[in-house]
Homo-oligomer: A and B are copies of this chain.
């Protein structure tokens, strides 16, 4: 686990979108973010206090989190001085970049000299077991999508927040680097060796109280030919009691695959549910989460009303409307 709270490093982010890791932390675990560190020319702003390393240290920050991605996921030389200083000042470093902290000899040398930790959340730090399929106690929800990047992480985080607000027991379970940095732990599933994918999800979502919900972040899509195997490992390793269907209605083709159309929500339901029931015969589809960020308010509401009627399931955009109705559907199961 990564020590919290964090100082969020925004570097020289060219725009707000480049700092989406920092945005996720600020939105979902604001208590983990004591401030932001921005270099000259930074165009992103989390509306947190701007702090230098000494001020963040005085405010209790333990880890400097790289909350920004460069083109190519590279650690730029412009950042290096700050990262080295942070280690010298007593911070651990955490990053989800492809360019690993541990592959930078100067960072490794300073971390060793100062006794600080380098957390590369993109690669696994655990030797996961092979899945055994044994039924686990507690409840689990998995977000499954018609495509990649349709809001599965956002949905799981929002349902987790709603459940906890209602006094229910729940835990968001991260399966990607942004989710891991937000919560401080999880499985970087896309970097796990094939044979251990499902086992890593069993490890991530162990036995729990009968009334506890794990909200498992989805990855990929059963219909996305590049990543569908990762998705099926989540469906079988997670042995979900509940599936939440996630969709972005304005997408014109599968992400990165111009020749592939998105499936309908019906096709997603009819494909995912029988597969999920292999691992958990009691599994049900409980609701639908729509990402309406590219729709106007009226268009979004009328689209969701139509889907809700057609599918006979609670339908909401957690970003516009909150996830309380989706959380209630889980509790009613």
Which residues of A line the B interface, CB within 8 A? 71-72, 98, 129-135, 189-195, 197-199, 222-223, 225-233, 235-237, 239, 254, 256-257, 259-260, 263, 271, 274-275, 278-279
Report yes or no: A259 in contact with B135, Cβ–Cβ below 8 A: yes
Report yes or no: A225 in contact with B192, Cβ–Cβ below 8 A: no
- Given the interface pairs A225-B278, A230-B229, A237-B225, the reply to whether A260 lies near B133 with Cβ below 8 Å is yes
Measured CB to CB, the closest approach of chain B to A191, in angstroms, equals: 6
Q: Which of B191, B225, B236, B260 is A228 in contact with, Cβ under 8 Å?
A: B236
Report yes or no: B130 in contact with A229, Cβ–Cβ below 8 A: no
Report yes or no: B198 in contact with A229, Cβ–Cβ below 8 A: yes
> 15 A-B residue contacts at CB 8 Å?
A72-B129, A132-B226, A133-B259, A134-B259, A135-B259, A190-B194, A192-B193, A193-B193, A194-B229, A199-B226, A229-B230, A229-B232, A229-B233, A260-B278, A271-B275
Look across to chain B and name the residue whose beta carbon is closest to the beta carbon of A274: B271
Contacts of A197 in B (CB 8 A): 194, 229-230
Report yes or no: A226 in contact with B194, Cβ–Cβ below 8 A: no
- Given the interface pairs A192-B194, A193-B192, the reply to whether A229 lies near B236 with Cβ below 8 Å is yes
Look across to chain B and name the residue whose beta carbon is closest to the beta carbon of A226: B131
Measured CB to CB, the closest approach of chain B to A229, in angstroms, equals: 3
How many protomers of this protein does the assembly include?
Answer: 2
Measured CB to CB, the closest approach of chain B to A149, in angstroms, equals: 14
Look across to chain B and name the residue whose beta carbon is closest to the beta carbon of A135: B259
- Given the interface pairs A232-B232, A271-B274, A275-B271, the reply to whether A133 lies near B194 with Cβ below 8 Å is no
Look across to chain B and name the residue whose beta carbon is closest to the beta carbon of A280: B225
Report yes or no: B227 in contact with A195, Cβ–Cβ below 8 A: yes
Report yes or no: A195 in contact with B199, Cβ–Cβ below 8 A: no
Report yes or no: B229 in contact with A72, Cβ–Cβ below 8 A: no
Cα of A178 to Cα of B253 in the assembled complex, Å: 39
Report yes or no: A194 in contact with B230, Cβ–Cβ below 8 A: yes
Report yes or no: B233 in contact with A72, Cβ–Cβ below 8 A: no
Cα of A256 to Cα of B229 in the assembled complex, Å: 20
Q: Which of B193, B228, B239 is A232 in contact with, Cβ under 8 Å?
A: B228
Report yes or no: B132 in contact with A257, Cβ–Cβ below 8 A: yes
Contacts of A135 in B (CB 8 A): 259
Cα of A235 to Cα of B232 in the assembled complex, Å: 12
Contacts of A191 in B (CB 8 A): 193-195
Cα of A24 to Cα of B135 in the assembled complex, Å: 34
Report yes or no: A195 in contact with B271, Cβ–Cβ below 8 A: no
Cα of A197 to Cα of B199 in the assembled complex, Å: 17
Report yes or no: B222 in contact with A198, Cβ–Cβ below 8 A: no
Report yes or no: B225 in contact with A131, Cβ–Cβ below 8 A: yes
